[in-house]
Chains A and B, each alone.
With several copies, the nearest count.
Chain A
């Protein structure tokens, strides 16, 4: 590798190529093909120069260079420096392998990525073909194609839809959203505790979604309660069940998960450690 570190000037790069890359690997593959390079024997010095030239060009155009591109630049530079170092006679103690090629891992990643990238073309073809046929009821589904919700399986989309519904409900009520001046502020923790108690009290039957929300509906409280609901779901304290597509969403204490869990049985949601309290404050601020 007799190339000087300050290699021959790189040909001007057509600016149109800059935005087209999915990531650093995509850019590298492009450079490799463009310069008809053997992927198994990459001239790292040359490729690194080309790669850095691209990044510089991006910066020159005031495009933000994503962190991933910089990480790859660092990787390339590291490989380059390892290649320039005189090879130790034998790697000592390391899996008994002979001094491995520093490029090996990168080559493997490029080959892997190339395979998936190639498959994308196939997927896109299939996508196009499949869109040439129509199924019954498809018009009603619209573009967001969705197979019917299996019996009893809960769909998070329906939960969100339910929230939108409630917010709309408030919108149609003239007092909504403006009447909370001077009201005690609901914190997420308080909302979680209230909701948790309400659901616990309801026993195995649980409560229906609409019952989570205190009337009259106030936008802030609804959002807080909904966040509390999501948090309780996320913590698997409760589960959401929708038995029929048009049925109500029921929320009940998750018996199975509750049994799995060790410790913290009662009044959970009112305690909670400092860390989660902090993130709750953050969550709260977002909605102020």
Chain B
């Protein structure tokens, strides 16, 4: 009963300073990205107000050049993370080397197609890749990088797939809008790919 009473109490007034401290504490304990909207709802504040405070916090952390922590805008929210330059040492301390178990090339190719064409069916993915994607789709589903997103209104009603918040998080993106226009990449990477191909031909790169 006490819990429901608590919800009915007047929204408290927070100074910017107090709000920032609270957000810092919450970012720390929440083990997932924190969205301004969620915080605003619980505290009875406007989402912009919370967002501004979070941006202040981002800047505050950015100014602490000697700190080991940063605040990232990721997967639609904010999250505290360690700085990249600590990666190797922290990996060692956690006994979890950074960079292992990365996604395979087929998985990345398929994910690229889903990212740009979502929602998309297996047949559509296969049309682009020219090979079966069944196994890869299952792996991506297991790793929660894609999810089912309804069915396409065509004969057979095939399942549609879309990317997840985990996808954004996995690649350190804030939202799908961070994806560059596909055409730009093709041009920029054309030369690189040629180089890569040359290496591949000699077997220097897998």
Q: When A and B assemble into the complex, do they touch directly, with CB atoms less than 8 Å apart?
A: yes
Give the contacts of A116-135 with B (CB-CB under 8 A).
Answer: 116-124, 126-135
Does A161 interact with chain B (Cβ within 8 Å)? yes
Residues in chain A near residue B129, CB distance under 8 A = 22-23, 25, 113, 116
Q: Are A137 and B112 in contact, CB atoms less than 8 angstroms apart?
A: no
**A22 in contact with B131 given A118-B193, A148-B32 (CB within 8 Å):** yes
Interface of chain B: mostly helix, strand, loop or mixed: helix
Shortest B12–chain A CB gap in Å is 17
- Give the contacting residue for B87; candidates A26, A123, A133; CB below 8 A: A133
Shortest B187–chain A CB gap in Å is 8
Query: How many A residues touch B, CB cutoff 8 Å?
Result: 66
Across the two chains, which residue of chain B brings its CB closest to A152?
Answer: B97
A113 vs B128: C-alpha distance when bound (angstroms)? 6
- Give the contacting residue for A115; candidates B25, B91, B185; CB below 8 A: B185
Query: How many B residues touch A, CB cutoff 8 Å?
Result: 78
**A115 in contact with B186 given A17-B200, A121-B192, A130-B171 (CB within 8 Å):** yes
Residues in chain B near residue A120, CB distance under 8 A = 105, 108-109, 112
Hey, what's the 0/1 contact readout for B169-206 against A, CB within 8 Å counting as 1?
Answer: 11111000000101101101110111011001111001
**A66 in contact with B166 given A117-B193, A118-B185, A148-B101 (CB within 8 Å):** no
Residues in chain B near residue A33, CB distance under 8 A = 193-194, 197
Q: Are A118 and B189 in contact, CB atoms less than 8 angstroms apart?
A: yes
Q: Which of B83, B96, B104, B129 has the largest number of chain A CB atoms within 10 A?
A: B129
A14 vs B201: C-alpha distance when bound (angstroms)? 8
Q: Are A145 and B170 in contact, CB atoms less than 8 angstroms apart?
A: yes
Does B31 interact with chain A (Cβ within 8 Å)? yes
A22 vs B107: C-alpha distance when bound (angstroms)? 11
**A136 in contact with B31 given A23-B129, A245-B100 (CB within 8 Å):** yes
Interface of chain A: mostly helix, strand, loop or mixed: helix
Q: Are B201 and A113 in contact, CB atoms less than 8 angstroms apart?
A: no
A30 vs B105: C-alpha distance when bound (angstroms)? 16
- Give the contacting residue for A118; candidates B29, B106, B186; CB below 8 A: B186
Q: Are A131 and B98 in contact, CB atoms less than 8 angstroms apart?
A: yes
Residues in chain A near residue B200, CB distance under 8 A = 17, 20, 30
A136 vs B33: C-alpha distance when bound (angstroms)? 11
Residues in chain B near residue A137, CB distance under 8 A = 29, 31
Q: Are A131 and B128 in contact, CB atoms less than 8 angstroms apart?
A: no
Does A210 interact with chain B (Cβ within 8 Å)? yes
Residues in chain A near residue B139, CB distance under 8 A = 246
29 sample A-B contacts, Cβ–Cβ < 8 Å, listed by A number: A16-B202, A17-B203, A22-B129, A23-B130, A24-B131, A25-B129, A30-B201, A116-B112, A116-B129, A118-B185, A120-B105, A120-B109, A121-B189, A126-B173, A127-B108, A131-B99, A132-B87, A132-B98, A133-B81, A133-B83, A134-B94, A136-B28, A139-B29, A139-B31, A147-B32, A148-B100, A149-B101, A151-B98, A209-B135
